[in-house]
C-alpha cells in the first residue's frame, strides 16, 4: 500500500471520530440546557419565599430529571459503548453538574447524601462500567463537593429566612461528608483541587452554627417547634 | 474528631466557647459505620485501585519509551556498515522485548476501558511506533502501516484468567479469550510517524557523512510522501498533529537542501570532503530556523 493510500485511510478514520464528537456535542448542549433549567428551579430555595415551598420545587425539578434521562439515553447511543473514556471529557462537566443537582434535590427532600447508585438511577445511567454508559466515581465525588458549597450558602440564607435549625442539620451532614473525603487518597488532580475547597465550606457552616448558638437562637427555635 | 484539626486552626477560640455543642455536632459524623462513611470507604478502595493501575502503566510506558529510544539509536549505527545484519538482529531482539512489555500493559488493561488509561501509555506507544517504523524503513524502505503494527501487538495469553479484549462477543468463545491485544490508535500512529521523520532527517545527514550519495535522495522522496500524507490529513486531526507538521516541514526543508547541495556541488568536490561541506551547511540552516 502506498503512503498516500495509508494516509487517506487514516484520514477517514479521523474524520469519522470527528463526526462522533460533533454528534455528542449536540446532545450535550441539550443536556446543558436542561441542567440550567433545573439549576434555576433549585436556586429558588435561597429566596425567602422559596423556603416555604421546597417540596413543590423538588417535585418540579424531579420532572426535569426525566428529560435528563431521555437525553442521556440518547447520548449513550452516539458512540461505541466500549469507548466511554475516549469522549468522556465532552460530557464530564455537565454530568458533574447534574450529579450536584440530583444530590441537592435529595438533600432538600430527605437531608441525606444521595448514594452513587441513587444518582445513577435518577440520571437513568449505570453505576458499573461494565454495564454501559455509567457514572464515573470521580464525577460523582465532584458533584458531591459542589453540593457542599451550595449547602454553605443555604445555611446562611436559611438563617436570613428565619430557619435557625437547618444550619445545625447541615453542619452535621457536612461534617460527615468531610470525614468521608478524608478517607480518600486523592491524586493531585481537579478532584483534589475541589476537595481543598471543602474545608472553607465546613468553616463557613460552623461559623453560622456558632453565631446562632452564642445567641441562643437555635435553642429558641427548638423549644418553639416543640411547643407547637 | 479529626475535623477539629482542620477547622480548629481557623477558629481556635470556638473550642473555648462551646466545646459541648461541637461534640454533639460530631457525634453522628465520626460514627464509622454510618452509610456515608461506608460508602466512602468503598470509594477509597476503588480510587486507590485505579491510581495504582495508572501508575503501573506509567512505569511500563517509561520502559517502553527508553527501550524504543535505544533501538532507534542502535539503528542509526546501521548505515552501510558491514555489521548491518548484526545490528538489525539486535534491534529486532530489542523490539521483541518492548513488545513483551506491551503485552504486560495489555494484561493490565484486560476488562478495562483502554481510553481510561490512555494518557498513561500514549507516549510509550508513540515512541514504539517511531522505533518500529524506523526499523521497517531501514530494512524495507517503506512505511509500515498501522494495521501491520497492530497485528504484531496481538499476543497469546498464557494466563488462564478470564479475558475479553475490546470485542464483547468473544465472551462465549473460549479460544478467543486467550488473545491479548494492545491496539494503537490512529492519532498515536500519526504522532509516531511524525517523530519518525525527524529520525529520517538525521539518517539523511548521517549517511552523507558516510559518503553515501544515494540514500539522501531516497530519503527525501520518502519524506516528501509522508509530508504529502500529513498535508492530506490537514487539520482534521487533533492539535498535536498540526504542531508536528511544522517540525516536519523544517525537516523536509533540511533534507531537500541536502539533496540540492549534493547535486550542485557533488561533482565538484572529492567524495570524502562532502561531509564537511554538508555539516557546515546544515548548521547554517539550523541557525536560520532559530532566528525565524
Radius of gyration over alpha carbons of chain A, in Å?
A: 22
What is d(CA B135, CA B148) in angstroms, rounded to the nearest whole number? 13
A116, B39: Cβ pair inside 8 Å? yes
What is d(CA A71, CA A65) in angstroms, rounded to the nearest whole number? 10
Beta carbons of B121 and B105 less than 8 angstroms apart: yes
DSSP class of residue A134 equals B
Give residues with Cβ within 8 angstroms of B72, minimum separation 6.
Answer: B130, B131, B134, B199
- What pLDDT does residue B275 have? 60
A4, B29: Cβ pair inside 8 Å? no
Q: Is B221 on the interface with A (CB under 8 A)?
A: no
| Per-residue cell: A8 | 487517506
Residue B201: name the closest of B70, B92, B72, B91 by CA.
B72
What is d(CA B47, CA B58) in angstroms, rounded to the nearest whole number? 16
What is d(CA B29, CA B39) in angstroms, rounded to the nearest whole number? 13
- What pLDDT does residue B16 have? 42
Beta carbons of A96 and A143 less than 8 angstroms apart: yes
- What pLDDT does residue B163 have? 42
Of A6, A84, A180, the CB nearest to B36: A180
- What pLDDT does residue B215 have? 83
Sign of the four-CA dihedral B150, B153, B156, B160: negative
Q: How many CB atoms lie under 10 A from the CB of residue B210?
A: 13
Burial class (CB in 10 A: 0-12, 13-18, 19+), B253: middle
| Per-residue cell: B124 | 510509550
Distance from CA of A205 to the nearest CA of B (A): 11
| Integer angstrom CA distances of residue B256 from B230, B260, B270 | 17, 6, 21
Beta carbons of A111 and A48 less than 8 angstroms apart: no
A166-182 vs B3-10: helix crossing angle, rounded to 10: 120
pLDDT in tens, chain B (292 residues): 444 444 444 444 444 443 334 444 444 445 677 889 999 999 999 999 999 999 999 999 999 999 999 999 999 887 666 778 888 999 999 999 999 999 999 988 888 888 889 999 999 999 999 999 999 998 888 899 999 999 988 887 765 444 444 444 444 444 445 788 888 998 999 999 999 999 999 888 888 777 777 888 888 999 999 999 988 887 777 888 888 888 889 989 988 888 888 888 765 665 556 566 555 555 555 554 444 3
3-state helix, strand, coil in chain A (%, to 5): 80, 0, 15
Q: Is B171 on the interface with A (CB under 8 A)?
A: no
Q: Angle CA(B116)–CA(B117)–CA(B120) in degrees, nearest 5? A: 145
Residue B95: name the closest of B74, B121, B123, B118 by CA.
B74
- What pLDDT does residue B80 have? 61
Cβ-Cβ contacts under 8 Å, A130 against chain B: 111
| Integer angstrom CA distances of residue B85 from A51, B70, B206, B212 | 82, 17, 19, 18
- What pLDDT does residue A44 have? 85
Burial class (CB in 10 A: 0-12, 13-18, 19+), A125: buried
Q: Is B49 on the interface with A (CB under 8 A)?
A: no
Q: Is B229 on the interface with A (CB under 8 A)?
A: yes
Residue A86: name the closest of B55, B182, B185 by CA.
B185
What is d(CA B7, CA B56) in angstroms, rounded to the nearest whole number? 36
Radius of gyration over alpha carbons of chain B, in Å?
A: 28
| Per-residue cell: A26 | 449536540
pLDDT in tens, chain A (228 residues): 788 888 988 988 889 999 999 999 999 999 999 999 999 988 888 887 777 788 888 999 999 999 999 999 999 999 988 889 999 999 999 999 999 999 999 999 999 999 999 999 999 998 877 778 899 999 999 999 999 999 999 999 989 888 888 999 999 999 999 999 999 999 888 899 999 999 999 999 999 999 999 988 766 555 555 544
Beta carbons of A60 and A41 less than 8 angstroms apart: yes
Q: CA of B189: which chain A residue's CA is closest?
A: A10
- What pLDDT does residue B166 have? 45
Residue A9: name the closest of B96, B82, B232 by CA.
B232
Amino acid at each position: 500500500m502506498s503512503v498516500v493510500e495509508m494516509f487517506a485511510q487514516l484520514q477517514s478514520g479521523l474524520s469519522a471520530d470527528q463526526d462522533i464528537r460533533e454528534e455528542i456535542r449536540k446532545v450535550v448542549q441539550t443536556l446543558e440546557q436542561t441542567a440550567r433549567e433545573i439549576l434555576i428551579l433549585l436556586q429558588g430555595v435561597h429566596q425567602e419565599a422559596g423556603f416555604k415551598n421546597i417540596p413543590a420545587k423538588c417535585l418540579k425539578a424531579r420532572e426535569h430529571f426525566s428529560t435528563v434521562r431521555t437525553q442521556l439515553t440518547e447520548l449513550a447511543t452516539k458512540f461505541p459503548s466500549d469507548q466511554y473514556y475516549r469522549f468522556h471529557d465532552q460530557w464530564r462537566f455537565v454530568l458533574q453538574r447534574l450529579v450536584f443537582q440530583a444530590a441537592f434535590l435529595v438533600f432538600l427532600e430527605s437531608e441525606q447524601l444521595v448514594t452513587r447508585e441513587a444518582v445513577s438511577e435518577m440520571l437513568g445511567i449505570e453505576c458499573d462500567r461494565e454495564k454501559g454508559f455509567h457514572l464515573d466515581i470521580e464525577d460523582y465525588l465532584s458533584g458531591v463537593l459542589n453540593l457542599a458549597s451550595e449547602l454553605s450558602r443555604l445555611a446562611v440564607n436559611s438563617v436570613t429566612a428565619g430557619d435557625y435549625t437547618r444550619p445545625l442539620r447541615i453542619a452535621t451532614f457536612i461534617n460527615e461528608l468531610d470525614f468521608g473525603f478524608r478517607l480518600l487518597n486523592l491524586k493531585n488532580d481537579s478532584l483534589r483541587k475541589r476537595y481543598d475547597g471543602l474545608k472553607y465550606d465546613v468553616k463557613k457552616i460552623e461559623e453560622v452554627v456558632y453565631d446562632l448558638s452564642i445567641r441562643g437562637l437555635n435553642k429558641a427555635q427548638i423549644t418553639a417547634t416543640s411547643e407547637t | 474528631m479529626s475535623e477539629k484539626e482542620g477547622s480548629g486552626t481557623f477558629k481556635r477560640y470556638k473550642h473555648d466557647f462551646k466545646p459541648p455543642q461541637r461534640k454533639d455536632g460530631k457525634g453522628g459524623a465520626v460514627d464509622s459505620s454510618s452509610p456515608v462513611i461506608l460508602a466512602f470507604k468503598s470509594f477509597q478502595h476503588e480510587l486507590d485501585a485505579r491510581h495504582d493501575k495508572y501508575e503501573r502503566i506509567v512505569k511500563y510506558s517509561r520502559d517502553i519509551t527508553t527501550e524504543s529510544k535505544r533501538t532507534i539509536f542502535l539503528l542509526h549505527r546501521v548505515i552501510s556498515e558491514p555489521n548491518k545484519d548484526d545490528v538489525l538482529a539486535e534491534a529486532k531482539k530489542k523490539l521483541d522485548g518492548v513488545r513483551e512489555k506491551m503485552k504486560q500493559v495489555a494484561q493490565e488493561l484486560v476488562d478495562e476501558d483502554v481510553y481510561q488509561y490512555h494518557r498513561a501509555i500514549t507516549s510509550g506507544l508513540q515512541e514504539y511506533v517511531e522505533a518500529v517504523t524506523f526499523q521497517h524503513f531501514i530494512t524495507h524502505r517503506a512505511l509500515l502501516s498501522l494495521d501491520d503494527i497492530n497485528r504484531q501487538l496481538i499476543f497469546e495469553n498464557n494466563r488462564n484468567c478470564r479475558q475479553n479484549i475490546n470485542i464483547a462477543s468473544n465472551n462465549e468463545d473460549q479460544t478467543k479469550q486467550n488473545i491479548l491485544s494492545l491496539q494503537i490508535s490512529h492519532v498515536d500512529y500519526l504522532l509516531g510517524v511524525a517523530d519518525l521523520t525527524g529520525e529520517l532527517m538525521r539518517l539523511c545527514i548521517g549517511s552523507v557523512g558516510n559518503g553515501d550519495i544515494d540514500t539522501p535522495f531516497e530519503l527525501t522522496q520518502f519524506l516528501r510522501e509522508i509530508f504529502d500524507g500529513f498535508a492530506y490529513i490537514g487539520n482534521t486531526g487533533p492539535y498535536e498533529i498540526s504542531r508536528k507538521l511544522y517540525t516536519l516541514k523544517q525537516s523536509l526543508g533540511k533534507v531537500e537542501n541536502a539533496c540540492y547541495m549534493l547535486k550542485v556541488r557533488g561533482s565538484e568536490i572529492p567524495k570524502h570532503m562532502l561531509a564537511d561541506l554538508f555539516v557546515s551547511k546544515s548548521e547554517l540552516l539550523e541557525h536560520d530556523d532559530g532566528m525565524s
